[in-house]
Structure 1
Amino acid sequence: MTPLPRVGLGGGPLGNYLHPVSDAQAEAVMDTAWEAGIRYFDTAPFYGLGLSEQRMGRALRGRPRSEFVLSTKVGRLVRPGPGDNGGFAVPGDRHVEWDFTRDGVLRSVSESLDRLGLDHVDILFIHDPDRHWPQALDEAYPALAELRSQGVARWIGVGMNQSPMLVDFVKHTDLDLLLAANQATLLRRTAFDELLPLCLDRGIPVIAASLLHRGVLAADRPPGDAPDAAHELAAACARHEVPLLAAALQFPLRHPAVSTVLVGAHAPEHVTTDLRALNHPITPALWDEIA
């Protein structure tokens, strides 16, 4: 597959994750990302129960389609009525339902394209199938492979917060790439044991996401209730005069299997700060100390 950019914008915050973002602010985030050169954008029906897809689609509709890469996900359908909102600050008039059946996947993709206002996406991920392994393997994966062959998506993969099942998917399917969330970070390095070496051996690029542990690693002084390891990492970065954010965002890219990191932004200045951190020089001595 074509190499992905080194950095992409994650769509969770644009779905009002943890706190609301106005439409104008979401548009400003997208505009700032585009002007800064970001050309990979990741979203999902789950993010804001459709809101993130709507906002990203609206911002990208006027951009040249050949100039950006867009990914979304399958596994949750947005349905009317109250229910679980997944921590997103959105009205309680809709909820998500798990569905990894073939029909559910096809319905999910069709609804995503409607929300995005596009006729295709570049990447489709099976999203968080932790409790649905048989159905995801037997129905969702073949459906994505079919959509890939039809050109509805260029590449297919799986996105999860755990490594063991991602390893199983690599061993049992023909995936183009993976999204590993919260497992190739300074504080949680489970992907380095088996997943990343396996992906490197098989030529499967990995996108690393959820790198800051809900903001714990975003500032040079982690909150007082942060894990001891976070404070130790902050102290090491301070000794080497490196922002903790820079180390957190650059750390996954040290492994050759990781092609891309996703950053999230509730405000335009977050995009600028993250990109500056990604380009901050880091000495080998710091990496040696925190390894």
Structure 2
Amino acid sequence: MITLPPLGLGTAPIGGLFREVTEQDAAATVEAAVREGVTYFDTAPRYGHGLAEERLGRTVRAAGVADPVISTKTGWLLRPGEKVVTDWTERGIRESLESSLERLQRSFVDILYLHDPDDYPEEVRRTAYPAVRRLRDEGLVGAIGFGMNHSGPLAAYVAEFDVDVVLIAGRFSLLDHDALGTLLPLCRRRGTAVVVGGVFNTGLLADPHPGAMFDYRPVPGEVLARAERCRAICAEFGVPLSAAAIQFPFLHPAVRSVVVGCRSAAEVTGNAESLRLEIPPELWHRLAGAGFVPPELLEA
């Protein structure tokens, strides 16, 4: 069974998600994570067309992290001109991993996720899953799983295949409980580790304001109002909304780690502080009463 630290650094932002990040700021972000004791780093070739992996590889090595936990993803190949193509064949899976290892300056990654294979169940069944399983058997990766944004297709893969870990993004947050329906109970029964990404739903729960992003799009008015209501309830207890958002997934026993994307050292420090903050049980019950926390999570 894979061991995961509670907090991981997501590297999509240092790959330039939504806006460019300088080389200096990217390095400072990873260095701040190391100072805060973060040892889990999640990346993917598609983050900045390889840039996130390159920056992570350089900075982690320079920081002298003895034994980082690194996850990357496969199923998509980078091509010139910022082009990305799907390739779920064994040859494609191996080419993707080999390129990632080169950018990361490593000979091994701890976790390899099949990245967003929502629409490719036959390809996964026929070639992609057998390929990553062989990579695990060969010792090139430590654990295998799926990294996806939709909990229904992800639950179907967990039910069919023997995987070590899954990453579900955006579907288990204070504003979205979709993963609780099938995915999380299934992972608990099967002993599959769960990593939760997107706890801020693309930034909204970090700082609710007009024009904030929600699930990769500008936030609708009614969703913004819900986020502001959630923040107001947290404020009654002296708790920042970001702290409740980061700690919320751990209310479910299947969740082992939360991965948060950061683009600056200040964001890393703030997120680490949010994870350490003690949250009174009364706040969770208050949020449950307002519909932000499923009551069943508080019954244990």
TM-score by length of 1: 0.92
The residue that corresponds to 1:184 in the other structure is 172
2:193 counterpart residue number: 205
Matched, 1:271 2:273: no
Residue-by-residue CA offset, 1:197-230 (whole Å, 9 max, x unaligned): 11111111100001112211113x5437443321
- Listed one character per residue, the Cα deviations across residues 91-111 of structure 1 (whole Å, up to 9, x for unaligned) are xxx221111121111110111
Q: CA deviation at 1:65?
A: 6.6
Residue 26 of structure 1 aligns to a residue in which SS?
A: helix
Whole-Å separation in 2 of the counterparts to 1:11 and 1:68: 14
> Could you tell me how far apart the structure 1 residues matched to 2:5 and 2:235 are?
29
Partner of 2:141: 153
1:133-166 deviations in whole A, cap 9, x for unaligned?
2112221111000000000001001010011111
Matches within 5 A, 1:160-239: 160-219=148-207, 221-223=208-210, 225=221, 226-239=223-236
Matched, 1:97 2:85: yes
SS of the aligned residue for 2:73 comes to strand
| Unpaired stretches in structure 2, ≥5 consecutive residues | 212-220, 289-300
Match of 1:288 among 285, 290, 293: 285
Rounded Cα–Cα distance in structure 1 between residues aligned with 2:53 and 2:125: 25
2:112 corresponds to which letter in structure 1? Answer: L
Task: Compute the displacement of 1:290 (Å).
Answer: 1.5
Q: Could you say what secondary structure the match of 1:183 adopts?
A: coil
Q: 1:141 is matched with which residue?
A: 129
Tell me if the contact between 1:216 and 1:223 (Cα under 8 Å) persists in the aligned partners: no
- One-letter amino acid of the counterpart of residue 209, structure 1: G
AA at the equivalent of 2:85: E
Cα displacement string for residues 16-42 of structure 1 (whole angstroms, at most 9, x for unaligned residues): 100011111111111111111000000
Aligned-partner Cα distance in 1 for 2:160–2:202: 32
Which amino acid is 2:75 matched to? G
Aligned-residue CA RMSD (Å)? 1.4
Following superposition, the deviation at residue 114 of structure 1 comes to 1.3
Aligned to 1:8: 8
Per-residue deviation at 1:64? 5.4
Larger mean CA deviation between 18-27 and 231-240 belongs to: 231-240
TM-score by length of 2: 0.89
Residue type at the aligned position of 2:28: A
Task: Give the Å deviation of 1:63.
Answer: 5.3
- Residue 99 of structure 2 aligns with which residue? 111
Query: Hey, what's the Cα distance between the residues in 2 that align with 1:19 and 1:64?
Result: 28
